[in-house]
Amino acid sequence: MNGARWLVQALSAEGVDTLFGYPGGAIMPFYDALHGSDLKPALIKHVLVRHEQGAAFAANGYARASGRVGVCVATSGPGASNLVTGIADAMLDSVPMVIVTGQVATPLMGTDAFQELDVFGMTMPIVKHSFLPRSVDDLPRMVGEAFRIARSGRPGPVLIDLPKDVQNGDASRLPAHRPLPIDDVPAPIDAALHAALALISQAQRPVLYGGGGLALGDAVHAFRLFADATQIPAVLTLKGLGALPAQHPLNLGMIGMHGSRAANIAVQESDLLIVVGARFDDRATGKLAEFAPHARVVHMDLDACEIGKLRHADVGVRGDIRTTLTALTLPCAAHQHGRNGAARRQWRAACQQRARDHAARYDAPGDAVYAPALLKRLSELAPDAVVSCDVGQHQMWVAQHCRFDHPRKHLTSGALGAMGFGLPAAIGALLALQTPENPDAQVICVSGDGSFLMNVQELATVARYRLPIKIVLLDNQALGMVRQWQELFFERRYSEVDLSDNPDFAAVANAFGIHASFVDRTDDAEAALQRLLDAPGPALLHVAIDQAANVWPLVPPNHNNAQMLDADEVASLPVAADASVPPKPQEVRHALST
């Protein structure tokens, strides 16, 4: 029993059933332990990815979809450094992960040995905590603490940098591993609840503002009960989508730069924001100084650091948000028929009417595939699927037009915005959800041509394990979101966004043994989607879309959320004598001001 074998058994004791990794020199004793004959049948399923970034994103997707701790493993040096983007993504989106990296033996540390990197120092800003055991005797405390910290409070990634001699050290005297209990979640204090109730009872134009903390705090059900009881219109952040079902009558949609007009205007006109598990991200608020200018704020969050960080909270309610919502539901519901009841009913009706007036349209002219309509239909054909998407225009179209009934069904790199996230995250999600009790779990990856090539090698992982992931690849032969900004704000100076030399993605998938097809006409799109979903095993649908297609609406930078542009407004701006010259940025700003 050496340190590596003890660690494998400890991971199993922590409930780890799947880990994602790639072997190398400094982590080789751990891989030997995974293969050890005395540990069969295997305690843990190891998934061999084809790049360490794929391992980090797969563990990330596993954790996002399941709520359990995702685990990834890599060797020292370049193996560890290749994990960094996935670790940073987990930190910024509060995803529970434990990362195990190999390290050179302790006598060699600090000597610039082969594949030595200071991974402990390099990752310090992007983890909740780091551990560097110097002796095999450190393992029981450090492994237990790593999982406790990853799970406790606001979740996040924890690193164990494991020297090779610690892996090989004699662990026969170590006790069997026992998981540590996670920290108790503090309950809100009564004074804060009373103050929140007082503000909510006084409001005439309140808005519920839900974020990613609803899923992290297991508070989705409590949020729905609160919304139904109080009948307060709700807006959701990118990470909060699904906290209310898309078709819920109180759901005004996503807030922010590419949010719905109904959601953004409601927030701008509100007199009270009831913020639950959200952090006033800049992509949600637009110009912060002009965000919700008439609103007081009740901010509910587990993390005290978020309350008042960006926007002053008139009442901060720190603690378990599920407990907070439950405590406030009945008292707040009683006030909906009080002295402000008529004003609230009028406010609610106005918000809902605006949502109807500005509902998305899907009747785009022409024969080309219209991405919003395709994605809307995809979510109708696969209503129970988990959707993992990459970053760019397609990410916003997924957020706007797919219909989610729980935040854990929408996996997206929110705060970091990491391209290459979608496919490996889908791998992790499927392996988390596909169980003997749920053999038909469905995971769909929606990607763009730019993002897809960043981790395209993980098609080999999909093929090796015959994971029935369905991939919808939207190909506009450009870095679409960058191109859109260059069109609107940089006078069409298109710099390094041309991807017209993309490969035949269907042929690429076929080369990995994955079924693939192509569609470029809207009349063929639904049948192509149905064939994709009906295909046994993994499959890819390569969808050609118009390179000029933009994401609308759009709040330009340094503007408030009421100053939204859509395609018609941009088209109505003055056209230069040379029709190929777009409106100048100052003309766009003038249109917004008027």
* Helical H segments across 367-492, by residue range: 371-381, 393-401, 422-433, 449-452, 459-464, 480-489
Catalytic residue among 30, 120, 131, 164: 164
Closest CA to 386 of 394, 397, 398: 398
Beta-strand pair 386-389/443-448: parallel
Cβ neighbours, 10 Å, residue 331 = 16
Paired strand residues for 273: 207, 297
**Cα distances (Å, whole numbers) of residue 454 to 89, 190, 304, 450, 494:** 15, 50, 36, 7, 21
Paired strand residues for 251: 234
Residue 553 in tokens: 């609406």
Tokens 């509100």, residue? Answer: 270
114 has catalytic annotation: yes
Tell me which long-range contacts 285-291 makes (C-beta under 8 A, separation of at least 24).
285/256, 285/310, 285/311, 285/561, 286/256, 286/257, 286/555, 286/559, 286/560, 286/561, 286/563, 287/558, 287/559, 287/560, 290/560, 291/267, 291/560, 291/561
Question: What do you get for the CA distance between the two ends of the chain, in Å?
Answer: 74
* Helical H segments across 17-94, by residue range: 28-35, 52-66, 78-81, 84-92
Distance, CA of 121 to CA of 84 (rounded, Å):
12
3-state secondary structure of 100: strand
Half-sphere exposure (CA, 13 Å, Cβ side) for 273? 34
Distance, CA of 314 to CA of 261 (rounded, Å):
26
CB neighbour burial string for 193-218, b if at least 16 within 10 angstroms, e if fewer: bebbbebbbebebbbbbbbbbbbbbe
Distance, CA of 414 to CA of 282 (rounded, Å):
12
481 has catalytic annotation: yes
Angle among Cα 401, 545, 480 to the nearest 5 degrees reads 80
Catalytic residue among 115, 204, 352, 457: 115
Catalytic residue among 9, 30, 52, 120: 52
Distance, CA of 4 to CA of 171 (rounded, Å):
9
Catalytic residue among 91, 257, 419, 481: 481
Asked if omega into 365 is within 30° of 0 (cis), the reply is: no
Catalytic residue among 114, 124, 380, 530: 114
Beta-strand pair 157-163/97-103: parallel
52 has catalytic annotation: yes
Please list the active-site residues.
52, 114-115, 164, 481
